[in-house]
Structure 1
């Protein structure tokens, strides 16, 4: 009877959870059945079940592909740059906003750094092209008129990675700071008051109160971020990619588009997707084990 009573009392909560649960079942778990394509030679006319089973043939093809190591290294390098340059940016923004004592100023800055998140990558890359196009870019025209050399940011391979990370930081650092600001909002204000009573300055308060309050969420977000180590953002890279920077901009996502969408190699590209997911899972498991070993709360 107690179980039935508890169930009836929880019905409103179950109804609230239902849409999210259906979303994950339909759009996250159901598509996992498509993994089967990685082990078949898929033919649209035969269908998934009637297509012949080929085992690990597509994985062997992937690892023997001449471009595999180039794609793998490009993907890892861009992910590493994002991890070590972009990941700290939202944390720094959250700490600075939390330390701001003039509330209207903090809210204004917070709004300004949030806005780029709502701008699509098409617009971001379009602005970059308008400014830095080799011949018609506004900044390059200005430089040429004043006798300076043009900046080949869009065509020279050496500039691609830096420009990619800069755009990511500019667009997403404000939005990424939300979760860290939420963590800081839960800190007991009396801790800061006690620190002031003990003579601690702003830097000591930040070091002994603010940063420890963020430690758990930073570790958790870092582990989750490692799960996306093979995801570099197809749309962003594809829009920035051209024949001159292909050596450093070609990653698994763009390769999958060419092979899967343009050439119809669905089984082969499904194998690539499964490989990416497996690598991400290994990173998460290793990072989670390392975190729990050092006494931090992991993902599981």
Structure 2
């Protein structure tokens, strides 16, 4: 992985090396020129004001851009946080529904005891990732002949929705509804398309599982609560729905395609670090200020050695060379990343 990262960054490393070599060569050549031609030092001094202006202008442009970009980034992050809060609440409502379904009599007799007791600690994620060989219990579960018409997989999937961490083994009596969901669990939900089980069992293959999933056994008051929660998730999507297999299928598909992907997306946006383009420009801004503005000013104010001016000129020219050779590749990489 480190080797791959190194080669990916060659677009910046090679120009950086050449810029460094250019700077060293310029220092050597300018020093040699000053030593051999005494009047050349005066020429450099006369160019200092122009040089300061160019460096200051470039630094000012970059500073304005960085300030504007920072404000845009803050606005974008604030929007993402607001959206995250809204989507998180939808996930809360969905988990409320799942909790009611899990504790209902929808399941075949003995299924809950079979999963919760005989395969205590087994998770949906371990079953889906059995090929990794990390869970002997998952392999044992898959090898065993079940008597629940394959609905045990749906039961495990719904249990996974009530988890707040992939490392959880048992669902607590009092379900937690965190302010922000653990990123690891959201990634697992997204990776394994959690929620699609409802679509599969109550929609695509409902004719096969109809006898094993008795939705009419859900208490009427719980049905009403589920419909209220569904309308809280999206009143438009579930406006004309009633509690039946079509609704449950639609709910699973909605959560799988709309809510969980957005939950992951907004979490990512709300915690994003400063973009690389801003770090790149800030580094250039810092170098320009130090070597293109401050060092020449110190030379003029304190009559420093001419070598200070030589270093300043050489460094800024190297920076401009570095910008010229890396800016376009950097932008292309950022756009395509």
Give the TM-score, by structure 1 length: 0.27
Structure 2 length normalisation: TM-score?
Answer: 0.25
- The structure showing larger relative contact order (alpha-carbon pairs under 8 Å, at least 6 residues apart) is 2
